[in-house]
Structure 1
Amino acid sequence: MAGLELLSDEGFRQDGRRPVELRKIQCRMGVFDQADGSAYVEQGNTKALATVYGPHEIRGPRSKTLYDRAVVNCQFSMATFSTAERKRRPHGDRKSTEMTIHLKQTFEAAILTKQYPRSQIDIYVQILQADGGNYCTSVNAATLAVIDAGIPMRDYVCACSAGFIEDTPLVDLSYIEEAAGGPQLALALLPKSDRIALLEMNSRLHEDHLERVMDAASKACKDVYAVLDQAVREHLQETTALLGDHGSS
């Protein structure tokens, strides 16, 4: 697909956004009573559900026990109905395995694992609907679920994708923009310290442009942080109000 179709002469994208504008983000915390923490995030038309269990005793072979910190166990999957193509193996495909590894690396960098030696924290993320930015939406949902579980982190982890079309950085790419095949990166950032938890590029980008795309992605991650932080504050107020109602009844 030609870059011309992705960016109008007036500088608008196909969905009407400006180049550095996020898709609409909607989120809810505490969506499952059975899990220690859970969250649901919609980023545009991409929808992710995250659940967290733990910290709990190590399950499986004792050999994987870490005596100075918690093991972070992640699993990424895509619902069979999440894309137009029907997926036969939602867990075992190469892309899901890769995403699982990326999530594990991201949250090992953020969770204060040394507070829970000889234990395990499980993070499960499922994409219910895929329309671009699957990894980033997964990270944002998992961050809220970890916070909901009361597990301390160094900072929020906020993720956003970025691309480069017609000499213009674009953030929070939709499926159509991803499918265009231009240079793209995914950034997971700890926004208060500007520390990078994960950076992945899927194609070559000239170093003259890299700084601009990174700056756009970093700014977008901080915009995501503002939305997630607001969701956490609202959830805390709702929970406190509920506890107050129970206490007075």
Structure 2
Amino acid sequence: MSGLELLSDEGYRVDGRRATELRKVRGQMGVFNQADGSAYIEQGNTKALAVVYGPHEVRGSRSRTLHDRAVINCQYSMATFSTAERKRRPHGDRKSSEMSLHLKQTFEAAVLTQLYPRSQIDIYVKILQSDGGNYSACVNAATLALVDAGIPMRDYVCACTAGFVEETALADLCHAEESGGSSTLALALLPCSQNIALLQMDARLHQDHLDTLMEAAMKACKDLSKVLDNVVRQHLQEVSVLIRD
């Protein structure tokens, strides 16, 4: 294979992982007191911060108000220092708008919006450091922030990427793997029901390989749900100790 070898003959990836192995994931809830909910997550070298405000009265035009459910408002941004390429990233650029829309669609499928008619829930997510899987890190951070805010959901929303390299499905891609020209799939899953909140492909893929790639992404999402659940349980223990003290 020319250039960077994404998968060695022994089956190891550029960062030493096996094909279906996740990057190291670390999460923390309640990082901002000013927000109703907040969370920080690291997936490998990708770092994301999410804050949630609401439910509150719909801001702006009253025509946006939905009388049977809450409006989900999502805004995605990247810090100037998040990549090696230092450049201003305006909030309204095409990529940010597209990512914001994907996050909105994802959480509309998971949040029990019917419990909060004529209200609005704001989800703000920022990438602090980018090394692949930005959408996934944003979804996982926002899920923890929504739990921190006490907003009911059907299930955890867990997201992960998967790619096809040399006839092998790889889970949780880093930047080098995403940039390697392989077909990349991003999946957001509600693990208990196995309902898909969002599915996106960014390149053509032969139909024969789709099931293998989906299986790798779904397994990664289920593994991530266990990690997120541990973060939530750890946070609840810490809060319980503070209340008792």
Q: Same fold (TM over 0.5)?
A: yes
For 1:1-249, list aligned pairs within 5 A: 2=2, 5-245=5-245
C-alpha separation in 2, matches of 1:68 and 1:32: 30
C-alpha separation in 1, matches of 2:234 and 2:106: 25
Q: Secondary structure at the match of 1:153?
A: coil
Amino acid at match of 1:151: I
Amino acid at match of 1:156: Y
Amino acid at match of 2:150: G
Q: TM-score, normalised by structure 2?
A: 0.98
Unaligned runs of 5+ in 2: none
Amino acid at match of 1:161: T
Q: Shift of the alpha carbon at 1:181?
A: 1.2
C-alpha separation in 2, matches of 1:199 and 1:3: 30
C-alpha separation in 2, matches of 1:48 and 1:243: 28
Q: Secondary structure at the match of 2:83?
A: coil
Q: Secondary structure at the match of 1:50?
A: strand
Q: Secondary structure at the match of 1:155?
A: coil
Distance 1:116-1:216 versus aligned 2 partners, 3 A rule: same
Judge conservation of contact 1:31–1:40 (CA < 8 Å) in 2: yes
C-alpha separation in 2, matches of 1:127 and 1:90: 14
Q: Shift of the alpha carbon at 1:88?
A: 1.5
CA RMSD of aligned residues (A): 1.0
Q: Shift of the alpha carbon at 1:4?
A: 7.1
Unaligned runs of 5+ in 1: none
Q: TM-score, normalised by structure 1?
A: 0.97
Distance 1:227-1:3 versus aligned 2 partners, 3 A rule: farther
Distance 1:80-1:90 versus aligned 2 partners, 3 A rule: farther
Tell me the alpha carbon deviations over residues 2-59 of structure 1, each in whole angstroms, 9 at most, x when there is no partner: 4870000000001000000000000000000000000000000000000000000011
Q: Shift of the alpha carbon at 1:98?
A: 0.6
Judge conservation of contact 1:35–1:52 (CA < 8 Å) in 2: yes
Tell me the alpha carbon deviations over residues 164-199 of structure 1, each in whole angstroms, 9 at most, x when there is no partner: 001100010000001111100000000000000000
Q: Secondary structure at the match of 1:152?
A: coil
Amino acid at match of 1:162: A
Q: Shift of the alpha carbon at 1:84?
A: 1.1
Amino acid at match of 1:35: A
Q: Shift of the alpha carbon at 1:151?
A: 0.1
Amino acid at match of 1:106: T
C-alpha separation in 2, matches of 1:196 and 1:16: 30
C-alpha separation in 1, matches of 2:87 and 2:243: 43
Q: Shift of the alpha carbon at 1:93?
A: 1.7
C-alpha separation in 1, matches of 2:196 and 2:33: 32
C-alpha separation in 2, matches of 1:180 and 1:122: 35
Judge conservation of contact 1:79–1:90 (CA < 8 Å) in 2: no
C-alpha separation in 1, matches of 2:44 and 2:152: 28
Counting aligned pairs with the same residue, the percent is: 73
Amino acid at match of 1:87: K
Q: Shift of the alpha carbon at 1:89?
A: 2.5
Amino acid at match of 1:20: T
Distance 1:196-1:3 versus aligned 2 partners, 3 A rule: farther
Q: Secondary structure at the match of 1:97?
A: helix
